[in-house]
Amino acid sequence: MPNADPRVALPTGERQYHIGLGPGEMAEYILLPGDPDRTARIATRLDTIEIERRHREFATVTGTHRGLRVSIVSTGIGTDNVEIVVAEILAITERPTFIRVGSCGALQPEIASGDLIITSGAVRLEATTSYFVHDAYPAVAHYEAIAALVEAAERLGHRAHVGITATAPGFFGAQGRPIPQLPIRYPDLAEEMARQRVLNFEMEASALLVLAGLAGCRAGVVCAVYAQRVTGEFPDGDRRDRAEAACVETGLESLLILAEMDRQVREAAADRWRPSLWQRS
């Protein structure tokens, strides 16, 4: 059956154009890495796998993790890709929960390479979200997702920081990195963000937080620090692998915690989760 609105560029049927999935193939608890190869690495941690699919940079696995049905969907790089993934997931799920597991560059000297940064909100340096909301609209993580990520990192013993992230529309000039062959309009951008107590640079968080919030869904972000922008330090292969593992473990654990929070809300017949529900459980 053709789409009612010809402006919507979707193929006939319910399978989504970019991620290649249809209704029932996506879980309601979802991890969003950027790197499609990371989807396969995360999948090795699942207990069972029911679906594996890849189209372009969008690699998806759906399975179970400690009894919870979860999906892992790579977004590729940038907020434009996040818009595609979120829009298509919303079309085939009921009320999904999103946790981004990514990498970032730290802007504060006390944050070490290999640490985790949990985003409470994001500076919208990108333009994708401006096609949805006013330029002054905030990109804010859901309070339940923040709480779950903080708890997950603590349970697993991973050092984590919580604060504001800056989402840039690029990796080099868009983050103030010099390019010898090209002019940079804002060469002091990293220093300016650091003065405003922004913790890190990355390239996807603000789009996820804005779009999920508009859809009435929960979203959170945890990133492993791959670059210390103050000192110029980059972790080596082993340390970077350990940082990625810590980020992924924290993301998966946070989904389990969010599922438990949902159970507590249902049992208490509450309209939202609050810390006292955990004490009662």
Annotation says 177 is catalytic: yes
Indicate which residue of 53, 177, 239, 242 is catalytic: 177
Active-site pick, 25, 28, 83, 88: 88
Q: Collect contacts of 212-216 with beta carbons under 8 A, ≥24 apart.
A: 212/86, 212/98, 212/142, 213/139, 213/140, 213/142, 214/132, 214/133, 215/86, 215/90, 216/95
Longest distance between any two alpha carbons in the chain, whole Å: 61
DSSP at 182 = B
Terminus-to-terminus CA distance in the chain, angstroms?
47
Q: Quick count: other Cβ atoms within 10 Å of Cβ 188? A: 11
* b/e burial code for range 56-79 (CB count within 10 A of at least 16 → b): ebbbbbbbebeebbbbbbbbbbbb
53 sits in which H/E element: strand 48-55
Distance of CA 188 to the CA centre of its chain: 26
18 is catalytic: yes
What is the C-alpha separation between 100 and 48, in angstroms, rounded?
A: 21
Which listed residue (38, 124, 142, 229) is catalytic?
A: 229
Catalytic annotation present for 88: yes
Catalytic residue positions, numbered: 18, 88, 177, 229
